[in-house]
Structure 1
Amino acid sequence: MYRTIRRCRQITGKNTRLSRRFATTTTLHDYAETLPNLRIGSHTRVIFQGFTGKQATADARDSITWGTKIVGGVTPGRTGEHLGLPVLPTVRQAMEQLQPDATAIYVAARQAAGAIEEAIAAEVPLVVAVAEHIPLHDMLRIHSILKTQSKSRLVGPNAPGIISAVGRCRIGFQPLPCFAPGRIGIIAKSGTLSYETVASTTRAGLGQSLCIGVGGDILPGTDLREALQVLESDPDTDAIAIIGEIGGTGELDAAAWIKDYHARAKTPKPIAGLVAGLCEVRGHVMGHAGAFTSVGEPDAKAKIAALEDVGVTMVNHPSKFGAVLKARLHACGHGRGLDEVGGNALGKAGQRRRLHTVLRRPGQREHQRQQEREREQRRHLHLAEDQCMDLLRAAGQANCGSYSGHGDRRLLGIGIDRSTRSPCIIAAPLAAAAAASDDLPVQAVKRFPFDFRRGPDELAIERIAGHLQLTTKGNAAVESLRQLIKSLMTIFYEREAFSLTIHIVERLGAIKVVGARFGFDDAAFRSAGRQGHLQSLRDLAGEDEAEAQAAKSGIVYIKLEGESKTIGTLVNGAGLAMNTVDALGDAGGRAANFLDTGGKATSLTIKESFELILRDPRVRVIFVNIFGGLTLGDMIARGVMMAFEELSLAVPVVVRIRGTNEAKGQKLIADSGLPLFAFDGFEEAASKAIELSRSS
């Protein structure tokens, strides 16, 4: 039945065809054998794919200076030297000659899946992919390959990488000044939230052991639960910080693991946690590719509750991790030597006056970076319901129409099971209260994962029919269901969908589609040049004007509804942007928007962000919350000053800049003479913003 569908899986583009050298008969458990490969340290030999590129060169140079054992790299078609290290044309040759333990993949998103596959084929033990916007179906293909082998472990994509502060081994682009060798293991979906956590534990005198950035992708190569397994047995780790966010069930899986861990461990390591996304706007992607809640997935509140129930100490801001973990370590008798690390890594909180830097205009180089950001911006594409119905009819002559009020509605669809890292069929009998929306209780939705390369089997179709409570007499309804799933599968593969959900009713033994919502992966078009025909179906009139304008500049802006929401927020990084809105709410403030400038924000981006925020007449104060990783604190300061000068701001601005170049940025703000309120700590800055929002 699925022979035709299997042909559809060879999506347009040379990097999407499945490699014949990978077996397809091994069990799903084999990939778990690669978990020990995450234990990097001073012994780890690292290569870079895309070694001679600009970003790879900069990060490799910094990592070498820090102490990472980089032994060379790969650039296709080239042989020679770079940074005094060998350059080879293929990963297989690099594996044979340089014997690396890990590879850092620094290639464009359209090439990343091919580079990952090349590394897996060469059996590199650890593959770290930092790229954003790799097409989803390319990653589904990669995961179908990973499950068939037991040599290579993947970290990422859409992640800062993995770093051992104890072993001075960095594979990624984490901001090194924040790190100090120590005792805290950190696992995070968000890069900026992990950097804040690193800084907090450094200032608390704890330092870090192993930090695993699992990333914000829909399908991470390593998830929260797997990273916990590694830190459990890591001898350098005495306590753990876990940072989650909306999207998927990874935090619930982690909670289940922690419950078992506490039951079997004689002296379990203390664990503190944070989950970002209480501010989530359903139907929107909150910055990260995977930061959205699909049908039947838990929201942030449910994730926080699950972690609290198993003994995780939850915080509402990453700056609190240091004090909380220090107290937990003291309480369990591990307080000795807590103040021996981290004293000089970041300097004192009040350190701010060093070099004077003049205000500079964005030059040609900055404009080029801005143009790159515009090309990189990715959004999921949703179609109007009538367009979805047309696709269904074309795929398999489905019976589609409006709901007459007769028959029980059910939900059926194809989506992504993030726990199994595979596509799945989604099914739920709908209660009357839920019939008008897809906001269903987690327990009401059942997922039926299937292999990306094979499709669901006949037994799965029978189970789905049973779960939907379809009439089985005569098998007419089951056969109708089978044909409808076949049509959905065709659309899923041929159009590279990430979510296809329909409402169905059973009438006289047949199934009728009475509602549809389809979502497609825009990265397939913008990163790889595929699915261009879908762009012509985009309903621009139905998109929010401010959000669309923001997207053109590489900014993710989402307006939060409510007249009492008067604080405009400007933040770098999706996780930190979500958490800023969450933490403001906990303190009694009301954010008017979510705004993520992205990890590569420029002064021009900051100015444009101000313009977007000021379109909202509710805004009485703007809160700029920046923790510099890739984003430089002095660049943010220049952007704030530029906005003041060119936009004639009439609302007060509260600025908090920490991280990379924080002293330079803080000094620029302090010396500007502008009516800015500058703070080091989040709580002080948030309190001032809330005060101003009520009095302005």
Structure 2
Amino acid sequence: MLLQRTRLTPRDVLWARSLPCRGSQAAFSSSSRHNGYDDTIHNLKIGANTRVIFQGFTGKLATANAKESMEWGTNVVGGVKPNGSGEHLGKPVLPSVRAAMEQLKPDATGIYVAAHQAAAAIEEAIEAEIPLIIAVAEHIPLHDIMRIHSMLQSQSKSRLVGANAPGIISAIGRCRIGFQPLPTFSPGHIGIVAKSGTLSYETVGSLTRAGVGQSLCIAVGGDVIAGTNFVDALEVFEQDEDTEAIILVGELGGTSEEEAADWIKDYRKRVKNPKPIAASIGGFQASPGKVMGHAGAWTGLGEGTAESKYKALESVGVTMVDHPAKFGGVMKDILAQSGRNVKKIEQSAANAQQRRSYYTSRTTARPSVTKTHGVSLQQKRSLHLPAEQSSDLLKSYGINLTSQPPSPPSTHYVGISPARTARAPSIIAAPTSNPEQLHQRVRRFPFDYREGPTTQVINDAIAHLQLDAAPPKAKAQAAELIQKLWNFYKEKEAIDVHVTLALSQTQDEIKIYNPYLFFDDAAFKSNKRQANLHALRHKSSISATDSEAEAAGIVYIPLASPTFANGTTQKDTQTPPSSTAQEPRNLVGTLVNGAGLAMNTNDVLHTRLSSPPYSTTSANFLDTGGKATSATIKTSFKLILSDPRVSVVFVNIFGGLTLCDMIAEGIIMAFKEVGVDKPVVVRLRGTNEELGQKVLGEAKLPIHAFDDFEEAVRKVGELANGGK
């Protein structure tokens, strides 16, 4: 049985984090009760004996994945096709998950259906009590996920990994439930947990080249709410005899990395010879107020930045790495420093067999952060509703807004927002609306999605708002407002719905103003819900580059220019800035597959190239997506080259689903059809990397191709600063 010690529930963690000294041992109770969902953590230990089924088994994607996984050694025992029967790939096809559970006795299911079908498929797996559920689909609506977690929190049989995740893979047990690039993996003794798929592949590739390999790799995904988090994975790695050391790959958004730091601090105190841990964090150069590719890659109120996550992990003895290509050498160093026999580990990795059963000092400069002016609280999404439309929407739910009162004696901030750790919606409350104080004073009060906020939860939020002593009428209005905000939030499938409150001059009622509404695009784009809401989209606020990027499935965000000679700074914009004499003309246009890798690329370019002998940094964030095509690459070049600040283009690809040869063909297409007139540096790793290099070489174009990341970055710096 995993973990004899008592583990905190998500609600305990949130309560502890709301105290002034977050993470203080005094905030934790050793008598905290188990959460039923926590009892499913051991289901993550997959291996050679794990019996796997596929939902959507006969579909094109599932077929290709199942065939490849079976050839690698995964014990696929069959699959599900609604109302189907017969055989597929020599395995039985069942009409329902319940029938598959009864007849095939699976330990895990991989869900390979489109986003609009995924929620129902996950629910069916939960109802059938499948022990491990892997959801790979991107763009599942947030409210579907919160409803699913309401189900998961009330049971102790099923564990979810994902959604929007590459899945989970045991290199030792040759068991893959996901779409990870198999040639990159090798049996070994390093456990990996990551938000980003491409960064996890980078990490795996580095370990494989170093000869230490991997034990278990858990990609938790980049959604707002994850079925499995870093602490869950750490608890598995602690007890796993095949895991000698651990790697965390995190990014901005949520508080999972800080919670991991708290866990690691406690782990190092209670274990005599703790396993070495290293980590990398992405998002230092993220644009404030922007969603950086992954649905969950944005910093909410009260959540830490990439810098604070880095510091939290570093402060508890985690070895920090600025790019995952370094992990191979770093892990060998810290294994040796811990007293473990690295040669023995390497030999064991080389001789590793399929033996896992189902239950069975180097320092790095901290990436710098581009300083921004002011605090941005609002996420800038493609759906933009002007204040008048926001007011009309809220009014239809009985929430009447007023203009901001002049010099109110006190203001309060309240709304509904996701509580990522609790995997639930929450009332978000602060006894002030001052932007400089909100992050420190805000608290979340989670509640069950299906039940809605209870009277007790509402009263707790009102007490934190410091309105519990307000006149009875004002207090009752605040409670009624919270309930109306919840009704609006749920029916309109919002991500955040916040307003500011102030007591009227007579002190017997509240004034409501300054609304902030942040909606879930996936509800409409994946499931065609909320059509009326999305018809209100203010198209005049969408630039031509934004429209073109969105149509191609590309996330393109121009970044702020560095400080100019006269000390001014180009403000962050959603479109490339117009050319002026003061603007830099030597920035790097980045083209990357995967949001995590794109964030990390920007971070490393800034760290390596923003100081002498170089003087440049990234001009943009561009994520082509995990399924980029040649046409997508061509469009990406067009977007990047539309920015007059760009002097060199850096294509950084780690191929998983995206094939390196296909990327190479897209680059050649861009030269022919877009007219690339700037030097291009291409770094290719992963699936079909040798073929990709060959395609580029045979094209005889002015392209500088590398497979080593550091060499590519140095060449980018030379070219951006007038070199050849």
Point out where structure 1 has 5 or more consecutive residues left out of the alignment: 1-26, 346-377
Measured on the aligned residues, the alpha-carbon RMSD in Å equals 1.8
Q: How far is 1:455 from its partner?
A: 1.8
The answer to whether structure 1 residue 184 and structure 2 residue 190 are counterparts is yes
Map 1:144-163; keep pairs closer than 5 Å.
Answer: 144-163=150-169
Residue 145 of structure 2 corresponds to residue 139 of structure 1: yes
SS in 1 for 2:117: helix
Gaps of 5+ in 2: 1-32, 353-379, 562-582, 610-615
Give the drift of 1:399.
3.9
Counterpart in 1 of 2:454? 457
Aligned-partner SS, 2:462: helix
- CA distance in 1: counterparts of 2:293 and 2:467, whole angstroms: 39
Q: 2:623 matched to which residue of 1?
A: 596
Q: CA offset at residue 671 of structure 1? A: 2.4
- Decide whether the 8 Å contact of 1:200 with 1:318 is kept in 2: yes
Higher mean displacement: 274-283 or 412-421: 274-283
Q: Among 386, 390, 395, which residue is 1:388 paired with? A: 390
Question: What residue identity is the alignment partner of 1:541?
Answer: S
Confirm or deny: 8 A CA contact 2:188 2:346 kept in the other structure.
no
Q: Tell me the amino acid that sits aligned with residue 442 of structure 2.
A: V
Query: In the TM superposition, what whole-angstrom CA distance separates every residue of 1:61-91 from its partner, at most 9, and x where no partner exists?
Result: 0000000000000000110000011001001
3-state SS, counterpart of residue 700 of structure 2: coil
1:34-49 to structure 2, matched below 5 A, reads 34-49=40-55
Deviations 1:573-627 (A, max 9, x none): 0000010001111102410000000000011110100000011000000000000
| 1:660 corresponds to | 687
- Report the Cα distance in structure 1 between the residues aligned to 2:37 and 2:59, rounded to whole angstroms: 31
Query: 1:443 Cα shift?
Result: 2.9
1:196 to 178, 198, 202: 202
Q: Which amino acid aligns with 2:483?
A: K
Question: Paired residue for 2:408, among 386, 406, 409?
Answer: 406
1:221 is matched with which residue? 227
1:515 and 2:521 aligned: no
- CA spacing shift, 1:382–1:422, aligned 2, 3 Å: farther
Structure 1 residues 87-166: aligned runs within 5 Å: 87-166=93-172
* Paired residue type of 1:459: Q
Q: 2:701, 2:689 → 1: CA distance? A: 18
Percent identity, aligned pairs only, is 56
| Alignment match, 1:258 | 264
1:307-346 per-residue CA deviation (whole Å, 9 max, x = no partner) reads 111111111101011111110001112123244378899x
Alignment-derived partner of residue 237 in structure 1: 243
Partner amino acid for 2:198?
T
Cα deviation digits, residues 379-413 of structure 1 (max 9, x gap): 66342222222222221142432343333232211
Instruction: Work out whether residues 144 and 451 of structure 1, in 8 Å CA contact, stay in contact via their aligned partners in 2.
Output: yes
Corresponding residue for residue 325 of structure 1? 331
Question: Which is further off, 663-672 or 235-244?
Answer: 663-672
SS at match of 2:409: coil
Whole-angstrom CA distance in 2 between matches of 1:171 and 1:651: 41
Of 674, 681, 688, which aligns to 2:708? Answer: 681
In the alignment, the residues of structure 2 paired with residue 101 and residue 397 of structure 1 have an alpha-carbon distance, to the nearest angstrom, of 48
1:618 corresponding residue in structure 2 = 645
Following the alignment from structure 2 to structure 1, what is the Cα–Cα distance between the partners of residues 384 and 319?
Answer: 38
- SS for the counterpart of 2:397 is helix
Cα contact 1:75–1:88 (8 A) shared by 2: yes
Secondary structure of 1:272 counterpart:
strand
Secondary structure class of the residue paired with 1:381: coil
Asked if the contact 2:453/2:483 (under 8 Å) is kept, the reply is: no
Q: Residue 17 of structure 1 aligns with which residue?
A: none
Correspondence for 2:428: 426
For residue 64 of structure 2, the aligned residue among 55, 58, 62 is 58
Shift of 1:517: 1.1
Distance 1:473-1:330 versus aligned 2 partners, 3 A rule: closer
Which residue matches 1:86?
92
Q: CA deviation at 1:431?
A: 6.4
For each residue in 1:638-692, what CA deviation from the matched residue of structure 2 results, as whole angstroms up to 9, or x when unmatched? 1111111222221100000000000000111222211111111111111111221
Question: What is the identity, as a one-letter code, of the residue corresponding to 1:578?
Answer: M
Superposed CA offset, 1:130-167 (max 9, x none): 00111111111100000111111111110000000000
- SS across alignment from 1:695: coil
Q: In structure 2, how many angstroms separate the alpha carbons of the residues matched to 1:97 and 1:230?
A: 29
Q: 1:336-388 CA distances to partner (integer Å, 9 max, x unpaired)? A: 3244378899xxxxxxxxxxxxxxxxxxxxxxxxxxxxxxxx96634222222
Distance of 1:471 and 1:545 partners within structure 2: 49
Q: Give the counterpart of 1:340 among 320, 335, 347.
A: 347
Deviating more after overlay: 585-594 vs 505-514 = 505-514
SS where residue 477 of structure 1 aligns? helix
How many residue pairs are counted as aligned between the two chains? 633
Structure 2 CA distance for aligned equivalents of residues 442 and 336 of structure 1: 47
Distance 1:28 1:144 in 2: 16
- Equivalent runs, 1:361-372 vs 2, <5 Å: none
Shift of 1:180: 0.4
Measured after TM superposition, the shift of residue 525 of structure 1 is 1.0
Aligned equivalents of 2:266 and 2:348: distance in 1? 32
C-alpha change, 1:323 and 1:533, in structure 2 (3 Å) is same
Whole-angstrom CA distance in 2 between matches of 1:213 and 1:584: 25
Distance 1:645 1:148 in 2: 57
Contact 1:128 1:161 in 2 (8 A): yes
Query: What amino acid maps onto 2:251 in structure 1?
Result: E
**What amino acid is aligned across from residue 244 of structure 2 in structure 1?**
D
- Superposed CA deviations along residues 179-214 of structure 1, whole A, max 9, x for unmatched, are 000010000000000000000001111100000010
- SS of 1:650's equivalent in the other structure is coil
Task: Name which structure has the greater RCO, CA cutoff 8 Å, separation 6+.
Answer: 1
Match of 2:647, as an amino acid?
R
In 2, Cα distance between equivalents of 1:380 and 1:220? 23
Report the residue type matching 2:479 in the other structure.
R
Quickly say closer, same or farther: Cα 1:624–1:440, change in 2 above 3 A. farther
Q: Distance in 2 between matches of 1:94 and 1:473?
A: 57
Deviates more, 1:623-632 or 1:443-452: 443-452
Paired with 1:71 and 1:416, the residues of 2 have a C-alpha distance of 37
Distance 1:153 1:461 in 2: 30
Q: For residue 442 of structure 1, report the CA deviation from its aligned partner.
A: 3.8
- Give the aligned partner of residue 529 of structure 2: 530
Task: Give the match's secondary structure for 1:518.
Answer: strand
Cα distance, 1:168–1:560 mapped onto 2, change above 3 Å: same
Shift of 1:547: 2.1
How far 1:539 moved relative to its partner? 1.0
Contact 1:202–1:343 (Cα < 8 Å) also in 2:
no
Change (3 A) 1:654 1:276: same
Q: Report if aligned partners of 1:383, 1:517 keep a CA contact under 8 Å in 2.
A: no
Q: Is 2:430–2:438's contact at 8 Å kept on the other side of the alignment?
A: no
2:495 aligns with: 498
**Equivalent runs, 1:534-545 vs 2, <5 Å:** 534-545=533-544
8 Å contact from structure 2 (residues 433, 500) kept in 1? no
